[in-house]
Amino acid sequence: MAHEFGEVILGDQPLTPVEVERQIREVSERLEQGVEVVHARNRRLKDSERLLKKEKAMVYLEHRSAGMSIKDADARTVVDTDPARAERDQAEIEYWYARDLLVQLQNKLSALQTQAAGLRAAYPMAGRGL
């Protein structure tokens, strides 16, 4: 299963030192991309919240000027602004998904860095010439 930031995060295969370093670079790149994704999702969420508030105000005023009671105008406003609310909810879901994935990537990077340190300690002369 692929994610917006790249391939699946989890795996259970033992990693070689070369693979650990490759994955560190890969996760670092995905983190850089992830920051932009989270920023874009946050902007979309803020825009959809602003549009929902504006639409609610306009619809409410329209209903009140048509002579509806406050209670009826409130109820009709909720019904009439449901598509905008659904759009805002979807934007919020996408934003929090991107944030959660970014945290997972940060955790994976930390785990890979720990593995790399362990490998360096286990093989102190690896990669050094004679």
pLDDT (tens digit, 0 to 9) for every residue of the chain, 130 residues total?
A: 455 555 545 566 777 888 999 999 999 999 999 999 999 999 999 999 999 999 999 999 999 999 999 999 999 999 999 999 999 999 999 999 999 999 999 999 999 999 988 888 877 765 554 4
Question: What is this structure's pTM?
Answer: 0.77
Domain 18-121 part of CATH 1.10.287: yes
The DSSP annotation for 83-104 comes to: HHHHHHHHHHHHHHHHHHHHHH
